Every structure is written in C-alpha cells, then in structure tokens.
C-alpha cells in the first residue's frame, strides 16, 4: 500500500498561489494574466536593490529578470539610497518597456479581428 500523501486539489493549489502572491485579484501589468498559478513576485529593482514586488506572469518575469542582467553592477559593497532608487527606476523602465510593446501590438489584433466584418474599401471611391 502506498504511503504517499494526498495531492492538493486544483482549488487548494489556486489558494496556495493566491497566498504566495499575497492577494486574490492580482494580474500581470504587462499582459493581464490573472491566473494566480501563473503569477510570480518580481523584485522591480532587483533582489539586491530593493524589496518592492510586483506580481508578474512567469513569461514576463523571465523577460524582466533577463533585462536586469544589463543593469549596472553595484558601485561598492555597501548600497546607498541613490543607487537603490536608480535600480528601481531601471526596473520600472523595463516593466514599462514591455507594457508599451504589448500596448503597440494590441490595436493590430483589434483591427485584424474586426476587418473581416467590413467590406473592403472601394478603389473607385474618392
């Protein structure tokens, strides 16, 4: 007979994810993903430079963490507040950069979705 513990059901896993994120209604500010199982807490400035967290989907979290690799290295052993603020602003700029890229894509999908419902523009009209 197996001595394995009972697996948590889907709702228990969802509740655990909500607890990990710290709130029930979180959504990725870049793509809108709101399934708590897909959200992770991202250190906006980078783990070393600050504790400000944002719920970000796993894919966008991966992109943002990769972008942080290009941020400047620490100036010295001891961090100062100006350096922390600078890294927070860099992280915020990364987040906005991804959000703006999504914002530029979205209208194209809207237009592509609605275009088939309208007759093609007539070439003989002024």
How far apart are alpha carbons 16 and 22 in whole angstroms?
10
Residue from 26, 30, 44, 64 binding Zn ion (CB under 5 A) = 30
39 burial (CB, 10 Å; 0-12 / 13-18 / 19+) is buried
- Binding range to Zn ion, per CB under 5 A, among 3-11, 24-32, 70-78, 109-117: 24-32
44 binds Zn ion (CB under 5 A): no
Residue from 36, 43, 44, 60 binding Zn ion (CB under 5 A) = 60
DSSP state string for 24-58? SS---TTT----GGGEEEEETT-TTT---EEEEEH
Nearer to Zn ion, 15 or 59 (CB): 59
Residue from 26, 45, 54, 57 binding Zn ion (CB under 5 A) = 57
39 binds Zn ion (CB under 5 A): no
- Helix residue ranges, H only, the chain: 10-21, 58-68, 81-114
| Residue ranges binding Zn ion (CB under 5 A) | 28, 30-31, 33, 57, 60
């Amino acid at each position: 007979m197996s001595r394995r513990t009972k697996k948590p059901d889907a709702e228990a896993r969802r509740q655990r994810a909500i607890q990990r994120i710290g709130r029930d209604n979180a959504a990725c500010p870049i793509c809108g993903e709101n399934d708590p199982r897909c959200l992770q807490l991202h250190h906006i400035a980078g783990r070393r430079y600050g504790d400000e967290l944002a719920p970000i989907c796993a894919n966008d979290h991966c992109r943002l963490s990769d972008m942080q690799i290009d941020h400047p290295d620490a100036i010295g052993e001891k961090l100062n507040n100006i350096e922390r603020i600078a890294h927070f602003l860099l992280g915020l700029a990364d987040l906005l950069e991804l959000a703006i890229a999504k914002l530029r894509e979205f209208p194209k999908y809207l237009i592509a979705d609605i275009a088939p419902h309208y007759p093609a523009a007539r070439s003989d009209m002024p």
